């Protein structure tokens, strides 16, 4: 708990980083209010807080991307009024962003040493490939990489790409590595790998600030937890005090029952959406059969790259279906474009909200009303009042944190942007709702709200397909689970057979321990 004598370890010494009285405001928002913290060498700080609490803003200040309005930053004993991207890097701070900054077409070593490549002698100044690889190897070793310096980045998993980013940071002599939600889209095995990289950094005396909404990972990795609310530090937990419930209590100011939103297993209704022999551009040789029933939440699990998102995109009509058929309520659907899906009440909340879910330079209200403009039209004009009313209701429903529904969506925190994407489809009363990683980057309080919303949709007869890499979520929220492996459905699980082990076994293409007989739809 917050210790009156030493909040956030301010008197702890020695420290690599000291922040004192950092304040940052945006129009109508206090993003950071008088924030102070210390980070010791080799210390892993877990930074937690609800969406919009100010975590990313604080990290952007450390990365030199944003300047504080007020406050002092001391790095390794050197005071700075503000950091720039360059001075932050030179001071030994490395910021590994959620959206990685790697070049897919280059290999690992070229990415690590981009712009700093060793050159051969002679007038042509050619890159010395052998020296480049040799220079990269020690850093790959330091992060425990299981791939080589000449591996193309495009061939690596997300966790491996994160390792490349961290190796790059190490090659620049980083002393503090900031990881902003690094595990939010990683499946279990990959997450373990990243957590061991954090341990390796710590062992080398490098400090880490680890931001995550996955509290059990913070619990495993952190030496100290700092909790933020409304831009301020609201509490700190030492290693022996760190626990799931203690963190939740600090973050949201009350205890949250872990499975508050979950209803008992229920009988699904008739089949709403059915796919037969569907193949996707990602796996043209595979055929998927899937039945999604009214009133159920079907969890779609699988490793990253197993073809879940691609299947969702085909079912929503954004990607071309290479074969097979799709029917809604028994009637065949053409699905040649997303419009066909939307017109039939099939909606997709995509994983990559920025690319496909949302227009960042429009206000919240317009993002929510966009797919349903006729409903807000008065003669030929869109009624701002009608838009605002719908948006206000959804803002309340989903606890979207913003000064008003006129706020530009691009200025919201990541988690709150995700809620706007959800809000826009919820406002349209869907028949089939496909949610791809719906709680990625969403705080624990809001997660419970989203689970309750999904359950509410299912109870109202909506067929819900939820793609998720979060094992607890898949098991905790679904009525049935379908697991994908390399483009095909490798099996279905009924509630009685739900276990992490069964999901993982199917995800790697092995049979589950005791697969449910009744629910299994023929597998291609």
Ligand X SMILES: Nc1ncnc2c1ncn2[C@@H]1O[C@H](COP(=O)(O)OP(=O)(O)OP(=O)(O)O)[C@@H](O)[C@H]1O
The residues that touch ligand X, with contacts defined as CB under 6 A, are: 26, 29, 31, 49, 51-57, 401, 411-416, 441, 443
Residue 452 and residue 399: Cα distance in Å, rounded?
A: 13
Residue 269 and residue 114: Cα distance in Å, rounded?
A: 55
Taking the least distance from each CB to ligand X, the nearer of 67 and 460 is: 67
CA distances from 120 to 115, 128, 151 (A): 15, 5, 22
Taking the least distance from each CB to ligand X, the nearer of 127 and 232 is: 232
Decide: helix, strand or coil at residue 484: strand
Taking the least distance from each CB to ligand X, the nearer of 235 and 414 is: 414
Q: Which residues lie below 8 Å from residue 451, measured CB to CB, with a gap of 6+?
A: 261, 262, 439, 473, 476, 477
**H/E stretch holding 209:** strand 207-211
Supply the minimum distance, in Å, between the C-beta of residue 404 and ligand X.
Answer: 12
Taking the least distance from each CB to ligand X, the nearer of 97 and 266 is: 97
**Nearest to 227, CA basis, from 469, 2, 444:** 2
Supply the minimum distance, in Å, between the C-beta of residue 213 and ligand X.
Answer: 7
Taking the least distance from each CB to ligand X, the nearer of 182 and 415 is: 415
Taking the least distance from each CB to ligand X, the nearer of 55 and 276 is: 55
Supply the minimum distance, in Å, between the C-beta of residue 70 and ligand X.
Answer: 15
Residue 358 and residue 349: Cα distance in Å, rounded?
A: 10
Supply the minimum distance, in Å, between the C-beta of residue 27 and ligand X.
Answer: 7
Helix 500-507 and helix 188-203: axis angle, to 10°?
100
Q: DSSP of 56-121, one letter per residue? A: HHHHHHHTTSS--SEEEEEETTEEESS--HHHHHHTTEEEE-SS----TTSBHHHHHTTT---B-S
**In this structure, are residues 12 and 244 in contact, taking their beta carbons and an 8 Å threshold?**
no
Taking the least distance from each CB to ligand X, the nearer of 354 and 495 is: 354
Taking the least distance from each CB to ligand X, the nearer of 139 and 210 is: 210
Supply the minimum distance, in Å, between the C-beta of residue 77 and ligand X.
Answer: 27
CA distances from 265 to 248, 262, 297, 473 (A): 27, 9, 10, 15
Supply the minimum distance, in Å, between the C-beta of residue 236 and ligand X.
Answer: 17
Q: In what order do the strands lie in the sheet with 29-39?
A: 29-39, 17-26, 70-75, 78-80
Taking the least distance from each CB to ligand X, the nearer of 184 and 488 is: 184
Decide: helix, strand or coil at residue 343: helix
Supply the minimum distance, in Å, between the C-beta of residue 354 and ligand X.
Answer: 13
Q: DSSP of 370-418, one letter per residue? A: GGGHHHHEETTEE-HHHHHHHHHHHHHHTT--SS-TTSBGGGS-HHHHH
Taking the least distance from each CB to ligand X, the nearer of 56 and 306 is: 56
**H/E stretch holding 196:** helix 188-203
Decide: helix, strand or coil at residue 243: coil
Decide: helix, strand or coil at residue 54: coil
State the sign of the Cα–Cα–Cα–Cα dihedral 342, 345, 351, 357.
Answer: positive
Supply the minimum distance, in Å, between the C-beta of residue 418 and ligand X.
Answer: 8
Supply the minimum distance, in Å, between the C-beta of residue 218 and ligand X.
Answer: 13
Residue 58 and residue 45: Cα distance in Å, rounded?
A: 13
Whether omega before 23 lies within 30 degrees of 0, making that bond cis, reads no
Taking the least distance from each CB to ligand X, the nearer of 55 and 175 is: 55
212-246 as b/e: b if 16+ CB within 10 A: bbbbebbbbbbbbbbbbbbbbbbbbbeeeebeeeb
Supply the minimum distance, in Å, between the C-beta of residue 379 and ligand X.
Answer: 35
Supply the minimum distance, in Å, between the C-beta of residue 61 and ligand X.
Answer: 10
Taking the least distance from each CB to ligand X, the nearer of 38 and 353 is: 353
Supply the minimum distance, in Å, between the C-beta of residue 181 and ligand X.
Answer: 7
Supply the minimum distance, in Å, between the C-beta of residue 395 and ligand X.
Answer: 13
Taking the least distance from each CB to ligand X, the nearer of 99 and 267 is: 99
3-state secondary structure 90-104: HCCEEEECCCCCCCC
């Amino acid at each position: 708990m917050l210790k009156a004598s030493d909040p956030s370890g301010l008197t702890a010494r020695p420290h690599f980083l000291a922040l004192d009285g950092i304040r940052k405001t945006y129009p109508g928002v206090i993003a950071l209010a008088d924030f102070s913290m210390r980070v010791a060498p080799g210390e892993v700080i877990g930074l937690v807080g609800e969406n919009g609490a100010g975590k990313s803003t604080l990290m952007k200040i450390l990365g030199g991307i944003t300047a504080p309005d007020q406050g002092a930053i001391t790095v390794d004993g050197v005071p700075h009024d503000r950091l720039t991207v360059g001075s932050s890097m030179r001071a030994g701070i490395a910021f590994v962003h959620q959206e990685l900054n790697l070049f897919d077409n280059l290999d690992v070593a070229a990415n690590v040493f981009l712009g700093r490549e060793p050159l051969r002698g002679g007038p042509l100044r050619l890159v010395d490939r052998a020296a480049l690889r040799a220079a990269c190897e020690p850093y790959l070793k330091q992060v425990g990489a299981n791939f080589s310096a000449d591996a193309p980045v495009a061939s690596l998993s997300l966790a491996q790409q994160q390792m490349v980013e961290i190796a790059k940071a190490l090659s620049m002599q980083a002393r503090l590595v900031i990881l902003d939600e690094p595990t939010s889209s990683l499946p279990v095995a990959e997450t373990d790998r990243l957590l061991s990289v954090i341990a390796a950094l710590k062992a080398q005396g490098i400090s880490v600030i680890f931001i995550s909404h996955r509290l059990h990972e913070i619990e495993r990795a952190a030496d100290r937890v700092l909790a933020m609310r409304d831009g301020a530090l609201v509490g700190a937990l030492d290693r022996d005090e760190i626990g799931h419930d203690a963190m939740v209590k600090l973050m949201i100011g009350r205890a949250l029952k872990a499975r508050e939103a979950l209803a008992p297993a229920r009988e699904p209704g008739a089949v709403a959406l059915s796919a037969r022999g569907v193949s996707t551009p990602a796996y043209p040789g595979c055929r998927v059969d899937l039945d999604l029933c009214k009133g159920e939440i079907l969890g779609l699990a699988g490793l990253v790259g197993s073809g879940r998102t691609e299947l969702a995109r085909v079912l929503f009509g954004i990607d071309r279906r290479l074969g097979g058929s799709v029917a809604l309520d028994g009637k065949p659907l053409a699905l040649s474009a997303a419009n066909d899906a939307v017109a039939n009440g099939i909606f997709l909340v995509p994983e990559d909200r920025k690319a496909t879910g949302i227009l960042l330079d429009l206000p919240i209200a317009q993002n929510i009303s966009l797919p349903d403009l006729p409903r807000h039209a008065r003669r030929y004009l869109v009624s701002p009042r009608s838009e605002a009313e719908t948006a206000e209701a959804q803002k309340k429903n989903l606890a979207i944190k913003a000064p008003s529904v006129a706020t530009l969506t691009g200025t919201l925190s990541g988690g709150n942007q995700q809620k706007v994407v959800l809000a826009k489809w919820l406002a349209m009363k869907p028949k089939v709702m496909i949610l791809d990683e719906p709680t990625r980057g969403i705080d624990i309080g809001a997660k419970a709200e989203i689970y309750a919303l999904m359950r509410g949709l299912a109870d109202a007869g909506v067929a819900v397909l939820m793609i998720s890499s979060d094992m607890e979520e898949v098991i905790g929220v679904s009525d049935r689970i379908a697991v994908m492996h390399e483009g095909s459905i490798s099996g279905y699980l009924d509630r009685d057979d739900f276990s992490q082990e069964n999901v993982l076994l199917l995800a790697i293409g092995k049979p589950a321990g005791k697969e449910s007989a009744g629910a299994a739809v023929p597998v291609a």
